[in-house]
Amino acid sequence: MNVDVSSLGKVAVLMGGSSAEREVSLMSGRGVLAALCASGVDAHAFDPAQRDLAELRRDGFARAFVALHGRHGEDGTVQGALELLGIPYTGSGVMASAIAMDKVMTKRLWLADGLPTPRWQVLVPGAQDREHALRVPDVLGLPLIVKPPHEGSSIGVTKVRGYSQMQDAVALAARYDADVLCEEFVDGLEVTCPVLGEGDGAVALPVIRIDAPDGNYDYEHKYFSDDTGYRCPSGLPPEEEAEVQRLTLAAYRSLGCRGWGRADLMIRAADRRPFLLEMNTSPGMTGHSLVPMSAKAAGLSYEQLCLRLLQCARLDAATARRP
């Protein structure tokens, strides 16, 4: 891939931020920054938790690579600020970012488009007491998953195996979010599928199969443990791999995503049916991250991936101009 790096201008790699995923974002950002600099890009680290975003314009940045994860980075807020500043950025726009960050709204849109996702219930503030919590397994069955609907990286997530665990699981999720999402557990294979591009031109990359110890793909196993196994090629039958990719593209387009993203899915063991769990619009780019792994299997190096994403940076409004 030939890219005239001088045409990209001065680039800010947004990393860190103020979310619960700050540590992971710093790891992602450092990797992206090193890759861009190695490719000759005039790239610089920029932490919105330590600097005002208005400094991006003052300091002459022409583009922003969004390596932020979680709230105030992946939820449309930073994207909106960059729109106002007139600085093109990587990844999805304001609306798609905001919707994908909200797992409940994401599920509603997917269901409206006929896409499969596990059954769920939401416990709103005032309905998170023991009485309400103990009703959930009667509807969704056991085991089930309890999580904050606006966090990522498995933060605040519990796999509940018995009624006695429900209240503690709800309390943990409520530490990170006002609402608590309770989701049917799909017993089977955990897979993930990245996407590059936009609209009809979007392309699904190779599927990755995740083999976490005891099926526990938590924060530690995602970013810091070497015990988690990743299979890419996935080893799935060709028709299953194709179906996961088809569903991922449909889910990506349903939310209006662009640039890149990564869908997480479960393939139910009982009937091999895939179910969509969530869409990540600012996926990790750490040494344990999955998009670079899948891109490598497709013949795209980490550096090439970063350049491609940066090259596709843009604003929601194609006619936007700086004042």
pLDDT, tens digit (0-9, with 9 covering 90-100), for 212-257: 776 554 445 444 456 789 999 999 999 999 999 999 999 999 999 9
Q: Per mean pLDDT, which range of 90-94, 178-182, 209-213 is the poorest?
A: 209-213
Per-residue pLDDT at 153: 60
Task: Please count the other Cβ atoms lying within 10 Å of the Cβ belonging to residue 188.
Answer: 18
Number of domains in the chain: 3
User: Is 303 annotated in the active site?
Assistant: no
214 and 104, same domain (yes or no): yes
| Amino acid sitting at position 176 | Y
52 and 23, same domain (yes or no): yes
Per-residue pLDDT at 318: 58
The answer to whether 293 and 137 have CB atoms below 8 angstroms apart is: no
Per-residue pLDDT at 216: 53
247 and 111, same domain (yes or no): yes
Per-residue pLDDT at 215: 56
Per-residue pLDDT at 226: 65
**Bridge partners (DSSP) listed for residue 14:** 46, 66
138 is in which domain, residue-wise?
Answer: 120-184
User: Is 31 annotated in the active site?
Assistant: no
State the average pLDDT over residues 20-44.
Answer: 96
The catalytically annotated residue of 75, 241, 264, 303 is 264
Per-residue pLDDT at 220: 52
Residues whose CB falls within 8 Å of the CB of residue 194, separated by 6 or more in sequence, listed in order: 204, 205, 260, 261, 262, 283, 290, 291, 294, 295
Residue 68 pLDDT greater than 70, yes or no = yes
Q: Per mean pLDDT, which range of 2-11, 151-160, 285-294 is the poorest?
A: 151-160
User: Is 216 annotated in the active site?
Assistant: no
- Among 184, 213, 231, the domain-final residue is 184
Token output for 301? 């190096």
148 and 170, same domain (yes or no): yes
The catalytically annotated residue of 47, 183, 241, 278 is 278
State the average pLDDT over residues 261-278.
Answer: 97
Q: Per mean pLDDT, which range of 64-73, 125-134, 221-230 is the poorest?
A: 221-230
User: Is 153 annotated in the active site?
Assistant: yes
pLDDT-based confidence at residue 76 (cuts at 50, 70, 90): very high
297 and 239, same domain (yes or no): yes
